[in-house]
Amino acid sequence: MSARAALVAGAVLLLAAGGVSARGQLQAGPTLLEIPSGANATRLQLGNTGDATVAAQVRVYAWVQEDGEDRLLETEALVASPPIAEVEAGGEHLVRLVLTGTPPAGTVDATFRVVVDELPGDPQVGETGVQMRMRYVIPAFVRAAAATPPAIECELRASELSCRNRGGQAAQLAVTALRGADGPAVVLSSGLFGYVLPESERRWTLPAGTGIPVGPLLLDTQLNGQAATIDVRRP
């Protein structure tokens, strides 16, 4: 997967065949969900800025990284209540995310993604064209009792950048660039670059033609909102 195509939390516009129509305007937040250690639930807020009632489906997936890629797996460890909700025009609706099992007691957070889909509404008389529907994909973390902070190690092999997180909390990388000891930096992302989950590895294939600096490499990034510089090994 290319760096630019990395899966990120955010909103995606879904189009159904026809012309263009948007009566409901689904909103979902916050952009990151957390259940503190010792707690068993948190809340997701749905809003509707449109002029018609909108229905939403909320699904929760376990989020893992295998072979350097994000994977979403079916789970019942964290559930949405209710899983389907109607939000009136100009209104709001709260959805509880409830932990059904034992909270993580060690040093590693449990990681999930919450997918919120706007469901298609009933067509109105005289309405034709494309229906615009929203999808939100939101990271959710259940905090461990003694979670260790992210500890990131990176390596560059040809055009593949890999980062391993030996800590117990996810690392969000944003505003990310590669640089050598001298010369200009190579910008990889001006926004969110991606997440490296706890005790996991994430890989990115850099775009063709990326000018990799020679010699020792550094990765400048915003790690969970804080400026960080990480040494990048070469094999």
Token pair 């989020």 is at which residue?
Answer: 63
Give the closest residue to 204 by CA, choosing from 154, 166, 151: 154
Summary mean pLDDT of the chain: 89
Give the confidence band of 49 by pLDDT, cuts at 50, 70, 90.
very high
Asked if residue 172 lies in contact with residue 44, where contact means CB atoms within 8 angstroms, the answer is no
Residue 205 sits at the vertex; the CA angle it makes with 200 and 210, to the nearest 5 degrees, is 135
Residue 45 sits at the vertex; the CA angle it makes with 14 and 109, to the nearest 5 degrees, is 95
DSSP per-residue codes, 180-214: -SSS--EEEEEEEEEEE-TTEEEEEEPPTT--PPS
CATH number of 152-233: 2.60.40
pLDDT at residue 6 tops 50? no
Give the confidence band of 45 by pLDDT, cuts at 50, 70, 90.
very high
pTM above 0.75, yes or no: yes
Asked if residue 234 lies in contact with residue 203, where contact means CB atoms within 8 angstroms, the answer is no
Give the closest residue to 121 by CA, choosing from 58, 51, 46: 51
User: What would the pLDDT profile of 68-82 be if each residue is shown by its tens digit?
Assistant: 999 999 999 999 999
Q: How far apart are CA 151 and CA 72, in angstroms?
A: 23
**Local structure of 3: helix, strand or coil:** helix
Q: Which CATH architecture best describes the domain 7-142? A: Sandwich (2.60)
pLDDT at residue 3 tops 60? no
